Structure 1
Amino acid sequence: MARIVIIGCGVVGAAIAYELSRTTSHTLTVLEQHSPAEGATGAALGIAMGVISHKVKGRNWRLREASLRRYPTLLSELAELGQPVPHNSQGILSLCFEAESLPRWQSLQAIRQRQGWPLEIWSPDQVAAACPHLSLDQVVAGIYSPQDLQIMPAAFTQALINAAQQQGAELQTDTAVVGFEQEGDRVQAVQTASQTYPADVVIVTAGLGSERLAGKLDQMLPMMPVLGQGLRIQMPEGLGDASFQPVINGDDVHLVPMGDRVYGVAATVEFPPDGERSPLPEAAAIEAVWQAAIEYCPALKAGNILSTWYGLRPRPQGQAAPVIQPMEGIRNGILATGHYRNGVLLAPATALKVQELLQAILDNDSSMSPSR
């Protein structure tokens, strides 16, 4: 039986812990320097744009499709384990403001039809009938994806790690990793300030912290912290039709129903100055997002801003996001990090891919056979 140490308990680390606890009998230990979902995960709105994404081939689409196929069974499994997750399965409606963009959407619709995924193109009248709270002065079409979803990231992460613990995984919070014990091309143990955890396999899924941890194992993994801001709005009454509350996207500004007449509006994309590791939010950036949301949903002007928030997204430099691969020169190390803006969307697919990478490590190492 192998001893597997997972470093990081955002949505990706929790998904990996759950998937491995469900399918293996190995010893699983999750080390989180704070609490689950306190990093980029906790600052996300959990919009899973898969079918409506313009990624149509290659790894980017394969990961999206794998997550879309896994989500229904995953949510059902968690509910059966007593860990139901709040989510919105009424799809995503993206507003198209330029007629020149329609051929691209029509092409995407045809591709998705061949791939077996529904994608609808609505006239402005259809958009108005479904979502009467939207201003359609500039809208030429609505693209509706019924099988994309939105999921509450912190609740999802907590449900995953709770279910993993029910199935034998161990979670250690407030436990920062400070180093590794290494012998040749193998990690022997993970070191924290107070304890050493023997490890047969190490999985690093620590967001922006992955750069520092990977560096301790001579892995080059530069990350850029890209700041994103959002707002929570309390409305005097619900927007539109109470029976149909999809996520609305207008020029990458999202309006997310959160229940009890509360809506999320997000998000900015703020690249840091060169070398800045802890950028701060720009007031002008969140104001621009707020005004853009009001432009396509004027009713928001009657709302009360409950709070604003921001988080730092890990964007890999020099390679595509996300990074899901064996560590170079380390026989028993896996990187699963740098998901940038797609952590919630790609968490299930990442967990499945890590499961494959783990099995390859175990198959190639007789010292970690099931009889150990």
Structure 2
Amino acid sequence: MRVGIIGCGVVGAAIAFELSQTHQVTVWDAREEHQWQATGAALGVLMAATTLKLKGKHLLLRLESLKLYETLIPELEAITQTSLPYNRQGILRLCFDGDELQRWYKTQQVRSKQGFRLDILDREQLVQAYPHLWAAHLQESNLPVVGAIYSPQDRQVDPVALSAALITAAQKRGATFYFNTPVAEFRSLPEQDPPCLTHICTEAESYPVDWVIVAAGLGSMPLTTTLNQTVPIYPVLGQGLHLRRQTPLAEPMPVVNGDQVHIVPINASEVWVGATVEFPVEVGAAVEADPAQMYELHQRGIALDESLAHASILRTWSGLRPRPHERPAPIIERLPGYDNVVVASGHYRNGVLLAPITAQKVRQLISN
């Protein structure tokens, strides 16, 4: 079966890898090969167990996708013969409210039944295990840390390295990728009801397909509009920093989360700090990076880890996340009105985490 995938960020790449096992896969992306856009701006934090939510469809997607990573990473490393930056040290969520810390005990019991371990640390245990966090506090109110929740099974992965490995592995299975190649139009059989797309057309060529997967992030909305079934997805901007500590940490460290900030260890000295959540003034409008929010993010990171106060800034970046309008993220479904079109997009802040489970859901949709 011939499957055409439009969009090759981390989600499109994961779908290509999954389907290339059994199908003839072709992928088109309008961007240059090394311009990663939303994927390149992501932190790659795979936070699934570390949430107070006890149930719900989205929670189950997160937990299922996290489990898939434990076999996906070794598989990709074996196929590509490369080592992927995959942090297995877990996630440490700092807590600044005693009542909230107590609520985690119920979540701890539920997670245990779901197959995930959570450790609840009081302040003394936290400081003993992670002495560099002894002064952690909320940046605005100065409330000191009272404890933490440690999830040893949550993970972090470099999104660009992961996406590149997925592409390479899919190519080894026979998938074809066209970058800097926007899709111009679609062709269908006009007499068929519901319509069935037969060709994906670029400016240079027309390609026959049996299925079309739209996984183009913010580019998904104009593509579905072309098919007269607009799926509204709008941008939300995020900014981040890459810092280098003056004094390296001795041990491998988990991702630290608190006060809406992730501190992501890259090596003993360097970390990513992110990310802001910046909405446009009105729906559909452009959104520009706000320097004040970047400054605030930096200060909140320093409040959690004082060793970052004198860290040098190696680079800053920003990127646009695709967020569905007036409906939950992500969108993984057949496009209404079409017999062979699937939309897998609008993952918002969880594209990296949900990429493996999205690929499996897409496989199920086209198999059914």
- Give the match's secondary structure for 1:259: coil
1:47 and 2:45 equivalent? yes
- The alpha-carbon deviation at position 271 of structure 1 amounts to 0.7
- Give, in whole Å, the separation in 1 of the partners of 2:232 and 2:35: 22
- The structure-2 alpha-carbon separation of the partners of 1:260 and 1:109, relative to structure 1 and needing over 3 Å to count, comes to closer
Residues 100-129 of structure 1 deviation map (CA, whole Å, 9 limit, x = unaligned): 212332221121012121011001111112
The equivalent residue for 1:352 is 360
The equivalent residue for 1:101 is 100
Residues 23-82 of structure 1 deviation map (CA, whole Å, 9 limit, x = unaligned): x1x210011111266121110010010011234323212211221221111011111112
- The alpha-carbon deviation at position 260 of structure 1 amounts to 5.5
RMSD: 1.3
How do 1:70-219 residues align onto structure 2 when only pairs under 5 Å count? 70-81=68-79, 82-134=81-133, 135-136=135-136, 138-184=144-190, 185-219=195-229
Query: In terms of mean alpha carbon deviation, does 161-170 or 175-184 score higher?
Result: 175-184
Q: Give the count of matched residue pairs.
A: 355
Report the AA paired with residue 194 of structure 1: A
1:28 and 2:34 equivalent? no
Identity of aligned residues (%): 46
CA contact (8 A) 1:84 1:159 kept: no
Report the AA paired with residue 140 of structure 1: V
- Give, in whole Å, the separation in 2 of the partners of 1:343 and 1:268: 16
- The alpha-carbon deviation at position 219 of structure 1 amounts to 1.6
The equivalent residue for 2:140 is none
- Give the match's secondary structure for 2:230: coil
The equivalent residue for 2:323 is 315
- Give, in whole Å, the separation in 1 of the partners of 2:160 and 2:329: 22
- Give, in whole Å, the separation in 1 of the partners of 2:327 and 2:203: 32
Report the AA paired with residue 330 of structure 2: P
- The alpha-carbon deviation at position 276 of structure 1 amounts to 4.5
What residue ranges of structure 1 are gaps of 5+ in the alignment?
361-372
- Give, in whole Å, the separation in 2 of the partners of 1:201 and 1:83: 31
- Give, in whole Å, the separation in 2 of the partners of 1:167 and 1:252: 40
1:303 and 2:302 equivalent? no
- Give the match's secondary structure for 2:280: coil
1:249 and 2:249 equivalent? no
Residues 170-189 of structure 1 deviation map (CA, whole Å, 9 limit, x = unaligned): 11111111221122411111
- Give the match's secondary structure for 1:133: helix
- Give, in whole Å, the separation in 1 of the partners of 2:55 and 2:254: 26
1:229 and 2:235 equivalent? no
CA contact (8 A) 1:83 1:163 kept: no
Report the AA paired with residue 27 of structure 2: V
- The alpha-carbon deviation at position 217 of structure 1 amounts to 1.1
The equivalent residue for 1:293 is 301
CA contact (8 A) 1:124 1:136 kept: no
CA contact (8 A) 1:32 1:176 kept: yes
CA contact (8 A) 1:29 1:170 kept: yes
- The alpha-carbon deviation at position 151 of structure 1 amounts to 0.2
- Give the match's secondary structure for 2:253: coil
- The alpha-carbon deviation at position 12 of structure 1 amounts to 0.4
- Give, in whole Å, the separation in 2 of the partners of 1:55 and 1:227: 25
CA contact (8 A) 1:326 1:335 kept: yes
- The structure-2 alpha-carbon separation of the partners of 1:260 and 1:103, relative to structure 1 and needing over 3 Å to count, comes to closer
CA contact (8 A) 1:9 1:36 kept: no
The equivalent residue for 2:141 is none
- The structure-2 alpha-carbon separation of the partners of 1:36 and 1:329, relative to structure 1 and needing over 3 Å to count, comes to farther
- The alpha-carbon deviation at position 96 of structure 1 amounts to 0.4
Residues 174-206 of structure 1 deviation map (CA, whole Å, 9 limit, x = unaligned): 111122112241111111122211111000000
1:220 and 2:226 equivalent? no
Given the two structures, how large is their TM-score scaled by the length of structure 1?
0.92
CA contact (8 A) 1:16 1:351 kept: yes
Query: In terms of mean alpha carbon deviation, does 224-233 or 100-109 score higher?
Result: 100-109
Query: In terms of mean alpha carbon deviation, does 152-161 or 30-39 score higher?
Result: 30-39
Query: In terms of mean alpha carbon deviation, does 137-146 or 154-163 score higher?
Result: 137-146
- Give, in whole Å, the separation in 2 of the partners of 1:156 and 1:329: 34
